[in-house]
């Protein structure tokens, strides 16, 4: 079971949903969501596009989307809902989404003054301005995940950061149902036909059939679906875990040369199921060796993407111990201050 499945909030949500005595609450909640969607899809005789699926699911959840693409949208939403439908809370969207200290991606609002038949009993307002646009697809499915799990029905509003267990669970649900297997599976299999490795080019090709899905969310979906071993990795400059703890606790260093140095590290490591089964392992937060293409890409700001062979035997823990020798093919891409990469064995 994942760590997320051991979080008390997640266990509690599973119980609220009637999923008691389950071995893995995350899987159980995911299964519940899939079952609901499968039922709705079955009722209409099937769905072939992800946009069609979103329409269907939103309709069944009595939910509509409103998007903020520019400042005029705040006035439009206010006119439609606050003035037209007597739901004054919609007049507060400007202050909510323009809070620069606390960037907000989306909110889900339960409307007053509705009848059970109204299709807009719930309104998800999504901020699509600036760099939030890249998260549009994911945020829409994230809000659907809230409705699917009925967590949004509770009495008190919930202000959560994206690191909160429930929000992470919603992300997990969104990443799976947004790439609904009966639609994503054939697209993935078609794109992978005859290809020995998952590449970023394949991910881009699949992404095109998923409307506005971001490269990263599509990459996660492909990585999870891949039946051969692959490790997703994010590299950025960071401290060793012990040093980071000292820094967080405000420890001071008398001499500069004793001060811990940040190095390029694998700050996020996600093996897919096949990688776990085959023992393809990279320790979270381990240093990226200078010889690795990941490190070279990080240093060369003129290059956005690179690929090549690597030997995991060159990867060394702080204590000096190295990973087992294994030839791997790595494709890496620069994303702001990080490098994201997929590591796949050559054998």
Minimum Å gap between C-beta 159 and another protein is 5
Which residue, 17 or 183, has its beta carbon nearer to another protein? 17
Query: What six digits make up the tokens of 296?
Result: 């070279």
Q: Binding pattern to another protein, positions 47-86, x when CB under 8 A?
A: ---------------x-------------------x---x
Phi/psi at 232 (nearest 5 deg)?
-85, 140
Report d(CA 236, CA 328) in Å as an integer. 20
To which H or E segment does residue 156 belong?
none
Which residue, 62 or 338, has its beta carbon nearer to another protein? 62
Query: What six digits make up the tokens of 191?
Result: 């794109």
Q: Binding pattern to another protein, positions 12-41, x when CB under 8 A?
A: ----xxx-----------------------
DSSP per residue, 171-237: HHHHHHHTT-HHHHHHHHHHHHTT-SS--HHHHHHHHGGGTT--HHHHHHHHHHH-SS--EEEEEEE
Distance from the first to the final alpha carbon of the chain:
29
Nearest to 299 by CA among 275, 259, 255, 334: 334
Interface residue with another protein, options 167, 212, 243, 311 (CB under 8 A): 167
Residue 91, interface with another protein (CB under 8 A)?
yes
Q: Which of residues 93-152 bind another protein (CB under 8 A)?
A: 94-96, 101-112, 115-116, 139, 142-143, 146, 150-152
Which residue, 124 or 233, has its beta carbon nearer to another protein? 124
* 8 A C-beta contact, residue 100 and residue 160: no
Which residue, 102 or 302, has its beta carbon nearer to another protein? 102
Residue 92, interface with another protein (CB under 8 A)?
yes
Minimum Å gap between C-beta 172 and another protein is 14
Nearest to 313 by CA among 321, 322, 305, 300: 322
Minimum Å gap between C-beta 25 and another protein is 13
Q: What residues make contact with another protein under the rule CB under 8 A?
A: 16-18, 62, 82, 86-89, 91-92, 94-96, 101-112, 115-116, 139, 142-143, 146, 150-162, 164, 167, 170
């Amino acid at each position: 079971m994942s760590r997320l499945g051991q979080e008390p909030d997640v266990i509690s949500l599973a119980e609220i949903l009637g999923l008691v005595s389950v071995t893995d609450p995350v899987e159980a909640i995911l299964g519940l969501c899939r079952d609901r969607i499968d039922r709705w899809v079955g009722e209409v005789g099937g769905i072939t596009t992800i946009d069609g699926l979103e329409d269907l699911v939103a309709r069944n959840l009595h939910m509509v989307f409103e998007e903020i693409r520019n400042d005029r949208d705040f006035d439009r939403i206010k006119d439609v809902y606050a003035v037209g439908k007597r739901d004054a809370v919609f007049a507060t969207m400007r202050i909510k989404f323009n809070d620069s200290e606390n960037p907000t991606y989306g909110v889900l609002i339960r409307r007053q003054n509705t009848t059970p038949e109204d299709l807009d009993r719930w309104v998800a307002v999504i901020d699509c301005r600036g760099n939030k646009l890249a998260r549009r697809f994911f945020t829409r499915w994230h809000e659907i995940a809230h409705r699917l799990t009925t967590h949004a029905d509770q009495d008190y509003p919930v202000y959560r950061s994206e690191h909160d267990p429930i929000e992470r669970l919603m992300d997990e649900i969104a990443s799976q149902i947004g790439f609904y297997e009966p639609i994503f599976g054939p697209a993935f299999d078609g794109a992978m036909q005859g290809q020995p490795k998952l590449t970023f080019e394949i991910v881009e090709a699949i992404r095109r059939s998923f409307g506005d899905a971001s490269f990263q969310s599509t990459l996660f979906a492909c990585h999870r679906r891949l039946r051969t071993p692959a490790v997703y990795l994010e590299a950025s400059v960071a401290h060793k875990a012990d040093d980071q703890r000292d820094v967080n606790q405000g420890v001071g260093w008398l001499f500069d040369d004793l001060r811990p140095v940040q190095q390029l590290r694998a700050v996020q490591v996600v093996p897919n199921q096949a990688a776990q089964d085959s023992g393809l392992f990279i320790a979270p937060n381990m240093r990226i060796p200078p010889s690795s293409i990941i490190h070279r890409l990080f240093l060369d700001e003129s290059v956005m993407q690179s690929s090549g062979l690597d030997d995991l035997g060159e990867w060394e823990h702080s204590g000096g111990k190295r990973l087992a020798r294994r030839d791997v093919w790595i494709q890496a891409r620069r994303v702001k201050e990080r490098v994201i990469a997929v590591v796949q064995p050559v054998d």
